[in-house]
């Protein structure tokens, strides 16, 4: 019986064909896997945003009279609104996030922890709006979140000299807010030009003159601040008057 095997040329041809198939298939498989990881990552971010919305609805006190608040992914895990992917004893969690005491959510793209990512939750007329940010994003590309109530934000501008507070038209009719935005008081400038509050109260602390810097980014709009006023002579009822005639889309 005559048995004939493959020739060396035939074997080499088969190997070459297999090599070509591998060269074509492997990058495609890797690309598919990478795209799947990206889609999984986007779904995880959507899950975080949805959890943050529920968190805000169930905990309205987080705003503390402000219109927006910053919440980390690790805080949502700790409060039970998100489930972690891995335990805090897992080496990936320990290596990537020192704050992963309740476990970590892992980014499937680069296998790092997402615990230090965060969301900005903003109050809307109905419900809330949530935006996701990664911990590595530049602050220049993010809207600055100013802490405190609107009145406290304006009062801090009086204290640091960003806004020139006046209660009258006189050259020395300065004013500023009391501690924790409690009450409005006359003020004077010391030898270094710093405003010092007195114990004499006033009813209003208004932006003086034609100030060009009396603007405050608040609730997604750039507002012109007119001043702070004492409502009903009650220091707990200070109000900030603001106005804008511009449609502002960004900073």
Nearest to 206 by CA among 233, 180, 221, 186: 186
Tokens in use for 198? 């007195």
Assign 126 to helix, strand or coil: coil
Give the pLDDT band (50/70/90) at residue 210.
Answer: low
Asked if residue 140 has pLDDT above 50, the reply is no
Instruction: Average the pLDDT over 20-35 and give the result.
Output: 70
- H or E element in which residue 175 lies: strand 174-177
- List b or e across 174-209, with b for residues whose CB sees 16 or more CB atoms inside 10 angstroms: bbbbeeebebbbbbeeeeeeebebeeebbebbbbbe
Q: Considering the entire predicted model, what is its pTM?
A: 0.48
Helix (DSSP H) and strand (DSSP E) numbers for the chain? 4, 11
């Amino acid at each position: 019986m005559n048995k004939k095997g493959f020739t060396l040329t035939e074997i080499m041809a088969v190997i070459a064909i297999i090599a070509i198939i591998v060269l074509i298939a492997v990058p495609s498989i890797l690309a598919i896997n990478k795209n799947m990881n990206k889609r999984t990552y986007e779904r995880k971010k959507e899950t975080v945003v949805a959890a943050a919305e529920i968190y805000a609805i169930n905990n309205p006190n987080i705003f503390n009279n402000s219109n927006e608040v910053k919440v980390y992914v690790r805080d949502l895990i700790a409060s039970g609104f998100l489930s972690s992917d891995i335990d805090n004893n897992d080496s990936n969690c320990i290596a990537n996030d020192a704050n992963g005491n309740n476990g970590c959510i892992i980014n499937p793209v680069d296998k790092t922890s997402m615990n230090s990512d965060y969301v900005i939750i903003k109050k809307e007329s109905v419900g809330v709006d949530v935006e996701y940010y990664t911990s590595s994003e530049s602050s220049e590309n993010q809207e600055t979140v100013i802490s405190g109530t609107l009145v406290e934000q304006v009062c801090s501008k009086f204290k640091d000299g960003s806004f020139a507070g006046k209660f009258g038209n006189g050259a020395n009719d300065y004013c500023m807010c009391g501690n924790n935005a409690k009450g409005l008081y006359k003020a004077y400038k010391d030898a270094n030009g710093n405003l010092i509050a007195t114990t004499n109260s006033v009813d209003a602390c208004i932006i003086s003159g034609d100030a060009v810097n009396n603007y405050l980014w608040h609730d997604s709009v750039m507002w012109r601040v007119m001043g702070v006023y004492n409502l009903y002579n009650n220091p707990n009822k200070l109000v900030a008057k603001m106005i804008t005639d511009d449609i502002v889309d960004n900073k």
